[in-house]
């Protein structure tokens, strides 16, 4: 009998794997399933990025192991991207870590910084893979409730002083998954002050940094002193529809970046060189594809919300990300409403409880289908709410 290591037993259930299995089962049974439960971009990677990959894949120099910490040209392109988009200056040798997808880095940072008994401050609701890294480190979590009354921002004053003294790491994510909230520079300045006061490393997950409908989302690193207290994670998955390519990076505090790079030295030999060349093309090439993508998500969001409004289904603002954070009707939990939508109306949504206790009362709906299919899903949701 094989007995797993205790760290494996500490891992939380893989929330999205269960969602995928439920959707597949219903689909195999022949139902017309509209799967809006996952954050998996549905559109193609821009053609100039694909072409860059094709050309690089034909080059034998890319068939060898690449440098452990990524191509120098990629790290320089990353720095150029941040300077152009956010006015942030970065050292490509000391302040950049190339990652195998953003999820990897978000799990790795806990391994780099947390020991048993340490505390990580985690948003509730929040991306479940933050929990995975903390569990592997055998550390503890203190949940920071994100409520509508506070704009889905954590209220640092509510964190007990004893917890602040034990906390070594804090996860943030704006534009937010799942609540769709955005954060401004004032919030990030307060965050820097709080982190400096309590000697906490900030890990800002900026996965949806390109998807802000009212204004360009703010990077944590734009705040004065941010690099002294933390790092930011950015992925090409959402900005360029490159989810399956697994290209991301961590930026900021050189000590933290050094630890991530050191850990990765023992785990990987960097990304396939041709994928890195394609990432360079994405970061340095024509950015009109990013604006086009944002407009597609805007039209999808507006159409979906319009159908809900016509059916008198209450909604909350959606300023960022490609999700809608939808309150469930009275008398339902997030799980019971999600189950009703799946079993009777064949719409897959993510129950908010899967993102933390404060997520109950909501479901997360991904705007990752055609406008026609999203509008059909909205009509099914209205029907579900009216029939109870």
Residue 27 banded pLDDT, cuts 50, 70, 90: confident
Residue 102, pLDDT above cutoff 80: yes
pLDDT of the residue at 238: 97
Residues 141 and 275 in one domain: yes
Residue 1 lies in a domain: no
Residues 299 and 363 in one domain: yes
Window from 27-31, 95-99, 342-346, 383-387 with minimum mean pLDDT:
27-31
Residues 323 and 210 in one domain: no
Residue 8, pLDDT above cutoff 90: no
- Residue 1 vs residues 10, 28, 355: alpha-carbon distances, Å: 19, 34, 34
Distance CA 81, CA 86 (A): 8
Q: What is residue 320's DSSP assignment? A: B
Window from 9-23, 93-107, 141-155, 364-378 with minimum mean pLDDT:
9-23
* DSSP per-residue string spanning 256-298: HHHHHHHHHHTT---S-HHHHHHHHHHHHS--HHHHHHHHHHH
Residue 16, pLDDT above cutoff 80: no
Distance CA 301, CA 319 (A): 10
Residues 261 and 158 in one domain: yes
Residue 25, pLDDT above cutoff 70: yes
How many domains are contained in the chain? 2
pLDDT digits (tens, 9 = 90+) for 114-163: 999 999 999 999 999 999 999 999 999 999 999 999 999 999 999 999 99
- Mean pLDDT, the chain, rounded, equals 94
Residues 272 and 310 in one domain: no
Residues 58 and 35 in one domain: no
pLDDT digits (tens, 9 = 90+) for 207-224: 999 999 999 999 999 999
Query: What's the average model confidence in pLDDT over 257-274?
Result: 94
Residue 232, pLDDT above cutoff 70: yes
Residues 213 and 338 in one domain: no
pLDDT of the residue at 388: 58
Q: Which residue has the higher pLDDT, 183 or 16?
A: 183
pLDDT of the residue at 233: 98
Q: What is residue 60's DSSP assignment? A: G
Query: What's the average model confidence in pLDDT over 345-362?
Result: 94
Residue 272 lies in a domain: yes
Please name the helix (run of DSSP H) or strand (run of DSSP E) that holds residue 170, with its range, or none. strand 167-173
Distance CA 257, CA 75 (A): 13
Ramachandran assignment for 19, one of left (phi > 0), alpha (psi -120 to 50 degrees), beta (any other): alpha
Q: Which CATH number characterizes residue 25's domain?
A: 3.90.1150.10
User: Which residue has 């004053």 as its token pair?
Assistant: 157
Query: What's the average model confidence in pLDDT over 250-257?
Result: 98
Residue 151's domain comprises: 47-284
pLDDT digits (tens, 9 = 90+) for 34-87: 999 988 999 999 999 999 999 999 999 999 999 999 999 999 999 999 999 999
Kindly list the strands in the beta sheet with 323-327, ordered across the sheet, starting from the edge strand earlier in the chain. Answer: 323-327, 362-366, 350-351
């Amino acid at each position: 009998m094989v007995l797993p290591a205790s760290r494996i037993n500490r891992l939380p259930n893989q929330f999205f794997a269960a969602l995928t299995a439920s959707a597949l089962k219903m689909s195999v049974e022949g139902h017309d399933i509209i799967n809006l439960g996952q954050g998996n971009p549905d559109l193609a990677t821009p053609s100039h990025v694909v072409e860059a990959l094709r050309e690089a894949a034909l080059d034998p120099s890319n068939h060898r192991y690449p440098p452990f910490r990524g191509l120098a040209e990629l790290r320089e392109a990353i720095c150029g991207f941040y300077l152009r988009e956010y006015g942030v200056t970065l050292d490509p040798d000391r302040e950049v870590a190339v990652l195998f997808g953003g999820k990897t880095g978000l799990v790795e940072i806990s391994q780099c910084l947390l020991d048993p008994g340490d505390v990580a401050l985690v948003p509730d609701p929040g991306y479940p893979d933050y929990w995975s890294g903390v569990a592997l480190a055998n550390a503890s979590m203190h949940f920071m409730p994100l409520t509508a009354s506070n704009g889905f921002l954590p209220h640092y004053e509510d964190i007990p002083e004893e917890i602040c003294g034990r906390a070594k790491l804090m996860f943030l994510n704006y534009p937010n998954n799942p609540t769709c909230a955005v954060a401004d520079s004032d919030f990030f300045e307060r965050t820097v002050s709080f982190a400096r006061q309590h000697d906490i490393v900030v890990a800002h997950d900026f996965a949806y940094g390109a998807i802000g409908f009212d204004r360009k989302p703010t990077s944590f690193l734009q705040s004065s002193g941010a690099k002294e207290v933390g790092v930011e994670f950015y992925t090409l998955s959402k900005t360029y529809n490159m989810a399956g390519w697994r290209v991301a990076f961590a930026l900021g505090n050189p000590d933290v970046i050094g630890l991530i790079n050191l850990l990765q030295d023992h785990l990987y030999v960097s990304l396939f060189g041709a994928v890195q060349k394609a990432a360079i093309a994405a970061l340095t090439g024509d950015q009109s594809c990013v604006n086009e993508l944002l407009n597609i998500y805007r039209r999808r969001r507006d159409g979906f919300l319009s159908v809900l409004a016509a059916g008198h289904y209450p909604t909350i603002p959606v300023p960022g990300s490609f999700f809608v954070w939808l309150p469930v009707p009275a008398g339902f939990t997030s799980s019971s409403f999600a189950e009703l939508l799946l079993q009777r109306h064949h719409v897959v949504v993510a129950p908010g409880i899967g993102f933390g206790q404060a997520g109950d009362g909501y479901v997360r709906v991904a705007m990752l289908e055609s406008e026609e299919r999203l509008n059909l899903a909205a009509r099914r949701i209205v029907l579900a709410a009216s029939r109870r």
